[in-house]
Amino acid sequence: MAGEDRILAGGATRIDFQTDPSRYRHWKLSVEGEVATLTMDVDENGGLFEGYQLKLNSYDLGVDIELADAVQRLRFEHPGVKVVLLRSAKNRVFCAGANIRMLAGATHAHKVNFCKFTNETRNGLEDSSANSGQRFVAVINGTAAGGGYELALATDHIILADDGAAAVALPEVPLLAVLPGTGGLTRVVDKRKVRRDHADYFCTIEEGIKGKRAVAWRLVDEIVPNSKLEARVAERSQQFAAASKRNGAGKGIALSPLTRSFDDSGIRYGLVSVDINRTERIATISIQAPEQGPPADIDGLLERGASFWALQVARELDDAILHLRINELGIAMLVFKSHGARANVLGHDAFLEAHKAHWLVNEIRQYWKRVLKRIDVTSRTLVTLVEPGSCFAGTLAELVFAADRSYMLIGETQGDNRGSPAIELSAMNFGPYPMSHGLTRLQSRFQADPEDVARAAQRIGEALDAEAAEQLGLVTFALDDIDWDDEIRLFFEERASFSPDSLTGMEANLRFVGPETMESKIFSRLTAWQNWIFQRPNAVGETGALRRYGSGQKPQFDMTRV
**Region from 38-46, 58-66, 89-97, 488-496 binding a copy of itself, contact rule CB under 8 A:** 488-496
Report which of 326, 338, 335 is spatially closest to residue 281, judged by C-alpha positions. Answer: 335
**Site membership for a copy of itself, residue 562 (CB under 8 A):** yes
| Phi, psi dihedrals of residue 252, rounded to the nearest 5° | -90, -165
Q: Which is nearer to a copy of itself, 357 or 510 (CB)?
A: 510
Of 135, 531, 547, 548, the one binding a copy of itself by CB under 8 A: 531
**Site membership for a copy of itself, residue 483 (CB under 8 A):** no
Residue 254's contacts (CB-CB under 8 Å, 6 or more residues apart) are 77, 305, 306
Of 296, 510, 551, 552, the one binding a copy of itself by CB under 8 A: 510
Q: CB of 64 within 8 A of CB of 117?
A: yes
**Site membership for a copy of itself, residue 194 (CB under 8 A):** yes
**Site membership for a copy of itself, residue 524 (CB under 8 A):** yes
Helical ranges in 421-524 per DSSP H = 441-445, 451-457, 466-471, 481-497, 500-510, 518-521
Report which of 54, 168, 57, 185 is spatially closest to residue 119, judged by C-alpha positions. Answer: 185
In the chain, the largest separation of any two C-alpha atoms, in whole Å, equals 78
**Strands 266-268 and 272-277, sheet pairing:** antiparallel
- DSSP class of residue 206? S
How many Å apart are CA 385 and CA 372, to the nearest integer?
Answer: 17
Of 503, 519, 547, 548, the one binding a copy of itself by CB under 8 A: 503
Of 2, 216, 329, 482, the one binding a copy of itself by CB under 8 A: 329
**Backbone CA torsion sign across 262, 265, 268, 273:** positive
CB of 220 to a copy of itself, least distance (A): 14
How many Å apart are CA 344 and CA 529, to the nearest integer?
Answer: 44
Of 161, 185, 317, 391, the one binding a copy of itself by CB under 8 A: 185
Q: Which is nearer to a copy of itself, 237 or 443 (CB)?
A: 443
Q: Which is nearer to a copy of itself, 255 or 464 (CB)?
A: 464
Total residues in contact with a copy of itself, by rule CB under 8 A: 90
CB of 21 to a copy of itself, least distance (A): 32
How many Å apart are CA 394 and CA 412, to the nearest integer?
Answer: 22
CB of 246 to a copy of itself, least distance (A): 28
Of 10, 299, 494, 551, the one binding a copy of itself by CB under 8 A: 494
Q: Residue 534: CA atoms inside 13 Å, Cβ hemisphere, count?
A: 23
CB of 265 to a copy of itself, least distance (A): 19
**Site membership for a copy of itself, residue 204 (CB under 8 A):** yes
**Site membership for a copy of itself, residue 357 (CB under 8 A):** no
Binding positions for a copy of itself, 103-132, rule CB under 8 A: 108-109, 112-113
**Site membership for a copy of itself, residue 189 (CB under 8 A):** yes
- Per DSSP, what are the bridge partners of residue 261? 268
Binding positions for a copy of itself, 256-315, rule CB under 8 A: 281
Of 257, 532, 542, 553, the one binding a copy of itself by CB under 8 A: 532
